[in-house]
């Protein structure tokens, strides 16, 4: 089997009826998974993805599916569809938002499903201290880990942009965030990895240094136009946001992202067009 030179990393947030801001409908999500499954694509675990960054050798049609924040709809809609098509995903959870309680119904249970609001409403409820209504519970996280459908890593403890709220002490706050998040994952999952996704995509040199000092090595960005290859800087893993679109449409984007000739041309043009100055 031919090995992949580039492994695209897909970034989702919500899978919910009606779509909406940074959301994909269950119908489109299923169409995307079906498109990949029929063409022999494989969704990697992060262990397989990190092996690719270190040594290469990932199967040619490989990708990494990621979700940010850990919304309840990931349990209700995304996980059953991933199981149906033999795919797996990685979820970066905001540990301070995760609560306790029994697992809730899923798409395949034949029961009345819980409300899964659009993104702005989720933010409103979280701000009101009602995160349990819209965020995964530890019981659901543990169930998904056991099933091998999703794995879980840090997205900090409160998802705060400290540079915007307290610029003078942002580094102190970020160190505390990462330490709290690591402790929470260790307590509830029995382990914590060296992988971190930045809240709202923001990071700077200080944040990278602090993340590395607190035990994180692999840092996931929202930089869309770069190639995840053997030897890629682990402090700058590229991801692109998935739109609420068909499987064929997403498939074209993934094919371009993984193409050894088209990818650097496409990425360079996109960075130039948007005035972005990071490397490939």
What pTM does this model have? 0.96
Tens digits of residue pLDDT in 256-272: 999 999 999 999 999 99
Contact criterion met (CB below 8 Å) for 150 and 74: yes
pLDDT band at 3 (very low <50, low <70, confident <90, very high): confident
Interatomic CA distance for residues 15 and 20, integer angstroms? 10
Tens digits of residue pLDDT in 136-189: 999 999 999 999 999 999 999 999 999 999 989 999 999 999 999 999 999 999
CB count within 10 Å of CB 189 equals 18
Contact criterion met (CB below 8 Å) for 109 and 171: no
**Is 279 a member of any domain?**
no
Q: What is the CATH number of the domain that holds 103?
A: 3.20.20.370
pLDDT band at 110 (very low <50, low <70, confident <90, very high): confident
Tens digits of residue pLDDT in 9-61: 999 999 999 999 999 999 999 999 999 999 999 999 999 999 999 999 899 99
Q: Where are the alpha helices (DSSP H) in 86-201?
A: 119-127, 138-147, 162-165, 170-189
pLDDT, mean over the chain: 96
Residues of the chain with pLDDT > 90: what percent?
A: 95
Contact criterion met (CB below 8 Å) for 6 and 263: yes
Confidence at residue 2, expressed as pLDDT on a 0 to 100 scale: 76
**Is 2 a member of any domain?**
no
Phi first, then psi, for residue 152 (nearest 5°) are -130, 135
User: Angle at the Cα of 12 (from 7 to 15), degrees rounded to 5?
Assistant: 135
**Is 130 a member of any domain?**
yes
Assess whether pLDDT exceeds 90 at residue 220.
yes
Range of the domain at 123: 9-274
How many domains does the structure of the chain reveal?
A: 1
**Is 209 a member of any domain?**
yes
**Is 4 a member of any domain?**
no
Contact criterion met (CB below 8 Å) for 115 and 133: yes
**Is 280 a member of any domain?**
no
Confidence at residue 94, expressed as pLDDT on a 0 to 100 scale: 98
Confidence at residue 1, expressed as pLDDT on a 0 to 100 scale: 55
Average pLDDT over residues 109-130: 96
Average pLDDT over residues 99-112: 94
């Amino acid at each position: 089997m031919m090995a992949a030179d580039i492994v695209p990393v897909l970034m989702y947030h919500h899978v919910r009826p009606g779509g909406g801001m940074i959301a994909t409908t269950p119908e489109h999500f299923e169409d995307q998974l079906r498109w990949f499954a029929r063409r022999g694509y494989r969704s990697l675990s992060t262990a397989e993805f990190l092996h690719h960054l270190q040594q290469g050798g990932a199967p040619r049609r490989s990708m990494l599916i990621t979700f940010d924040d850990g919304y309840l709809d990931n349990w209700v809609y995304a996980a059953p569809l991933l199981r149906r098509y033999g795919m797996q995903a990685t979820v970066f959870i905001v540990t301070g938002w995760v609560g306790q309680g029994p697992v809730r119904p899923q798409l395949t249970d034949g029961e009345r499903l819980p409300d899964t609001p659009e993104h702005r409403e989720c933010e409103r409820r979280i701000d009101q201290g009602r995160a349990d209504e819209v965020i995964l519970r530890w019981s659901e996280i543990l169930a998904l880990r056991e099933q091998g459908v999703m794995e879980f890593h840090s997205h900090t403890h409160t998802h705060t942009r400290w540079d915007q709220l307290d610029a003078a002490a942002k580094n102190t706050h970020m160190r505390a965030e990462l330490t709290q998040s690591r402790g929470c994952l260790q307590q509830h999952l029995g382990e914590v990895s060296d992988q971190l996704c930045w809240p709202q995509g923001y990071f700077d040199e200080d944040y990278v240094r602090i993340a590395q000092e607190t035990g994180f090595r692999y840092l996931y960005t929202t930089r869309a136009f770069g190639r995840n290859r053997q030897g890629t800087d682990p402090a700058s893993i590229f991801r692109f946001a998935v739109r609420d679109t068909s499987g064929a449409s997403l498939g074209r984007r993934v094919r371009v992202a993984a193409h050894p000739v088209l990818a650097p041309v496409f990425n360079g043009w996109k960075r130039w067009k948007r005035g972005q100055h990071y490397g490939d």
